Structure 1
Amino acid sequence: MTAVGNRLPPASEGRPIPFRVSGALATGSVLQPLNSSMIAVAIVGIAAQFGSTSGVSWVISAMYITTAVGAPTAGRMGALFGARRVFVGGLVLAAAGSIVGMLAPGVGWLIVAYVLLGCGISAHMPNAMTMIRSYAQRYGRQSRTALTTLVVCGQSVAALGPTIGGLLVGTFGWQSILWVNLPVVLLSAIAVMHADVGFAGGRPASVREALHALDVVGIGMFLVAVTSLMLLLVSLRDSPSWWLLPVAGSGLALFVWWEWRAPEPFFDVRALVRNRALSNTLGRTLVTYTCFYCVFFGIPQWLQYVRGMSAIEAGLTMLPVAGVSVFSTIVGSRLYRRAGARATLLVGTIALMIGGVLIASVERSTAPLLVLLLVAAVLGIPNGFNNIGNQSLVNSVTSVEEVGTAIGMFRTMAFIGANLSVVVLQVTAGHEIDDAGLHRMGWFIAATAFVLVVGVALSRNMGPKVGVERVDSRPCSG
Structure 2
Amino acid sequence: MTATPDQHVPTDQPDQPDPWPALWALCIGFFMILVDTTIVTVATPAIIEDLQADVNQVVWVTSAYLLAYAVPVLITGRLGDRYGPKNLYLVGLVVFTGASLACGLTTTIEGLIVARVAQGLGASMMTPQTMAVITRVFPAARRGSAMALWGAVAGVATLVGPIAGGVLVDGLGWEWIFFVNVPVGIVAFVLAWRLVPSLETNHHRFDWLGVALSGVGMFLLVFGIQEGEQYDWSTITGPITVWRLIVAGLVVLALFVWWQARNRNEPLVPLSLFRDRNFSVSNLAITTVSFAFTAMGFPLMLWAQLVRGYSPTQAGLLLAPMAITSILAAPVAGRLTDRVHPRALTLGGFAALGASFVLLSQVLAPDTPLWQLVLVFGLVGLGSSFLWGPLATTANRNLPPQRAGAGSGVYNATRQVGAVLGSAAIAVLIDARLSANGLEFSPSEASGGTSLPAQVAGPFTDAMAQSLLLLPAVLLLGLLAVLLFERPRHFGAAPAREGVPAGAAADPA
TM-score (normalizing by structure 2):
0.82
Cα deviation, 1:398-446, whole Å, max 9, x if unaligned, reads: 1212222222222212221222112222232123383122222222222
- Would you say the 8 A contact 1:131–1:198 is kept in 2? no
C-alpha contact (below 8 Å) 2:144/2:389 kept by paired residues: no
Tell me, in whole angstroms, the C-alpha distance in 1 between the residues paired with 2:62 and 2:298.
11
SS of equivalent residue, structure 1 residue 254: helix
Work out which of the residue numbers 77, 91, 99 in structure 1 matches 2:93: 91
Correspondence for 2:482 among 429, 438, 456: 456
Match of 1:438 among 464, 471, 476: 464
Counterparts in 2 of 1:140-179, with a 5 A limit? 142-179=142-179
- Paired AA for residue 256 in structure 1: V
For residues 194-238 of structure 1, what are the alpha-carbon distances to aligned partners after superposition, in whole Å with 9 as ceiling and x for unaligned?
125151647x7xxxxxxx723222111101111101111123213
Verify: 1:416 aligned to 2:417, yes or no.
Answer: yes
Q: CA deviation at 1:97?
A: 1.3
- The equivalent of 2:378 in structure 1 is 377
Question: Structure 1 residue 378: deviation in Å?
Answer: 1.7
Q: Please identify runs of 4+ aligned residues in structure 1 that moved more than 6 A.
A: 2-12
Which residue of the partner structure matches residue 207 of structure 2? 215
How far off its partner does 1:15 sit? 9.6
CA distance in 1: counterparts of 2:312 and 2:75, whole angstroms: 35
Aligned to 1:111: 113
Higher helix share: 1
Distance 1:311 1:248, change over 3 A: same
Q: Please say if 1:326 is aligned against 2:327.
A: yes
1:339 is matched with 340
Deviation, structure 1 residue 113 = 1.0
Give the distance between the partners of 2:9 and 2:81, measured in 1 at CA. Answer: 21
CA distance in 2, matches of 1:264, 1:97: 33
Contact 1:5 1:399 in 2 (8 A): no
Alignment partner of 1:236 is 2:206 = no
C-alpha distance in 2, partners of 1:335/1:16? 24
Alignment of 1:37-436 (within 5 A): 37-49=38-50, 50-136=52-138, 142-199=142-199, 201=201, 213-239=205-231, 240=233, 241-262=242-263, 263-269=265-271, 271-430=272-431, 431-432=442-443, 434-436=460-462
Tell me which moved more, 44-53 or 258-267.
44-53
Is the Cα contact below 8 Å between 2:359 and 2:376 reproduced in 1? yes
- Paired AA for residue 215 in structure 2: L
Distance in 1, Cα, partners of 2:261 & 2:404: 19
Q: CA separation in 2, counterparts of 1:346 and 1:141?
A: 21
Contact 1:336 1:466 in 2 (8 A): no
Aligned partner of 2:326: which letter? S
Tell me which moved more, 260-269 or 183-192.
Answer: 260-269
Q: How far apart in 1 are the matches of 2:195 and 2:119?
A: 24
Q: Deviations over 1:4-38 (max 9, x none)?
A: 798989868x9994432211222222122221131
What are the residue-to-residue correspondences of 1:8-23 with 2, within 5 Å?
Answer: 17-23=18-24
Q: Which amino acid aligns with 2:298?
A: F
CA contact (8 A) 1:340 1:465 kept: no
Describe the shift of the 1:141–1:185 C-alpha distance in structure 2 as closer, same or farther (beyond 3 A). Answer: farther
- Consecutive unaligned residues in structure 2, runs of 5 or more: 234-241, 432-441, 447-459, 494-509
CA–CA separation in structure 1 for the residues paired with 2:331 and 2:39: 23
Please state how far the C-alpha of 1:164 moved relative to its aligned partner: 1.5
Instruction: Write the distance in 2 (CA, Å) between the matches of 1:450 and 1:355.
Output: 13
Q: Aligned partners of 1:414 and 1:460: how far apart in 2?
A: 18
Q: 1:136 to 1:385 in 2, by over 3 A?
A: closer
Candidates 462, 469, 473, aligned match of 1:447? 473
| C-alpha distance in 1 between matches for 2:205 and 2:11 | 30
Larger-Rg structure: 2
Opposite residue 275 of structure 2, the aligned amino acid is R
Shift in Å at residue 357 of structure 1?
A: 1.0
Distance, in Å, in 2 between the alignment partners of 1:325 and 1:15 is 30
Q: Equivalent residue of 1:213, what SS?
A: coil
User: C-alpha separation between the residues in 1 aligned to 2:7 and 2:375?
Assistant: 44
* C-alpha separation in 2, matches of 1:129 and 1:10: 16
Name the count of aligned residue pairs: 454
| Identity within the alignment, % | 25
Contact 1:148 1:388 in 2 (8 A): yes
Please tell me whether the aligned partners of residues 156 and 327 of structure 2 are also in contact (alpha carbons under 8 angstroms): yes
What residue ranges of structure 1 are gaps of 5+ in the alignment? 205-211, 469-478
* Aligned CA distance change for structure 1 residues 144 and 247 (closer, same or farther; 3 Å): same
Q: CA RMSD in A?
A: 2.7
Counterparts of 1:4 and 1:175, CA distance in 2: 48
| Aligned counterparts of 1:23 and 1:256: Cα–Cα separation in 2 | 35
| Secondary structure of the structure 1 residue equivalent to 2:339 | helix
**Change beyond 3 A, Cα 1:9–1:52:** closer
Q: Indicate the structure whose relative CO is greater, using CA pairs within 8 Å and at least 6 residues apart.
A: 1
Q: Which deviations, in whole Å up to 9, do the C-alpha atoms of 1:34-74 show, x marking residues without a partner?
A: 21131232223223333311111112111111111232222
Query: Structure 1: which amino acid aligns with 2:189?
Result: A
Q: Distance in 2 between matches of 1:418 and 1:231?
A: 13
Counterpart of 1:472 in structure 2 is none
C-alpha deviation, 1:297, in angstroms: 3.0
Following superposition, the deviation at residue 78 of structure 1 comes to: 0.9
Corresponding residue number in structure 1 for 2:502: none
- Counterpart contact for 1:95–1:185, Cα < 8 Å: yes
For 1:338, what is the secondary structure of its paired residue? coil
Partner secondary structure for residue 169 of structure 2:
helix
